[in-house]
Amino acid sequence: MANTTSAKINQWEYDLRENTMTKDVPDDYTAVVNVRATIDTHGVAQLICDERTDFRLETIETVQKLFSEKVKWLLKQGYIVSTETALYVPGITGLFQNTTLFTQGVNQCVANVSPSKALRDAMEEVTPVYSGHMQDQGGANIEFVYDVTTKQSDGKITPGGMVEVKGKKIRCLNATGDSIGKIAFLNAETQAEVATVPATAVGINDPSRLMFNAPSTLTDGEYILRIETYFSQNTTLLKSVRILEYRIPLYVGDKEDDDVEDGPVVQ
């Protein structure tokens, strides 16, 4: 579970990323929040128990499950449900052209979710802090990661084994272009950097393909693959580092099945 006690209270650190929607506007960027971790309902319940020893973890989880089931039941009956953090409103998507009948595949029953006033007020208490990182994507991205040992691309990697990464503009170069930049593995829960790949472990370093040995020190758990590079398809290197992260967490060991039901569809 994420360590929330050491985190700065009510503070979001953010990077800036080039706004690809306004390419004709120079120096136009959007903010990307560096989220600390993903916490599920079990994690939230555990945090409550850590603060309130008079509550049992099983009791909190049972109440939360019963509450969620009742919210879903009420929505299916056509009720609007207002909770402490969100407002759920039944809705139907799709057009009704020359018909008054609901058509499967064209129309869909959904729950439109919007933050409650209490949640909006809480967000006003957040202090944004710029991290100093400028994410100039320029069309660069990591498309998929392949574990050569297991011959799988499901996210599992083998410590010490060969990893193949494919994507666009992923060649890893430092600021001077005479060596690799940084290939790092972050703890998916805490976002802390736990291991880096040395230049000697990199076999292929091309714009669309990387191959390297995963650090042998990686223990069981989930990780985020991060590439920091100054590579540009032009002869001139980037002025600031480009940070690329694989959108799917990688993992070592056995990954537990996610038995959490999907949440409401947001229109």
- What's the Cα-to-Cα distance from 220 to each of 21, 68, 145, 187, rounded to whole Å? 39, 31, 18, 11
Instruction: Delimit the domains of the chain by residue range.
Output: 11-130, 138-252
Mean pLDDT of 51-78: 95
| pLDDT given for residue 266 in this prediction | 39
pLDDT in tens, 127-165: 999 887 766 556 788 988 999 998 888 899 999 999 999
Structure tokens at 35: 């989220």
pLDDT in tens, 188-231: 888 899 999 999 999 999 999 999 999 999 999 999 999 999 99
Residues 133, 243: contact at Cβ < 8 Å?
yes
Using CA atoms of 238, 239, 241, 242 in order, give the dihedral in degrees to the nearest 10. Answer: -40
Residues above pLDDT 90, as percent of the chain: 60
Question: Which residues, other chains included, contact 97 with Cβ-Cβ below 8 Å and sequence gap of 6+?
Answer: none
Q: Give the pLDDT score at 3.
A: 56
CA dist., res. 221 & res. 37, Å (int): 13
The class that CATH gives domain 11-130 is: few secondary structures
Q: How far apart are CA 14 and CA 25, in angstroms?
A: 21
CATH for 138-252, options being 3.40.630.30, 3.40.190.10, 2.70.50.70, 3.40.50.720: 2.70.50.70
**Residue whose pair of structure tokens reads 């272009």 in the numeric block:** 177
Which residue blocks in the chain are alpha helix, DSSP H? 41-51, 57-76, 117-123
Strands 127-135, 11-18: pairing is: parallel
CA 165/CA 243 separation, integer angstroms: 15
Determine the 3-state secondary structure of 22 from DSSP: helix
Whole-number Å distance between alpha carbons of 64 and 57: 11
State residue 20's pLDDT score: 62
Does residue 183 surpass a pLDDT of 90? Answer: yes
Residue with tokens 């909770």: 83
CB-based contacts of 23, cutoff 8 Å, min separation 6: none
Backbone angles phi, psi at 45, to 5 degrees: -60, -40
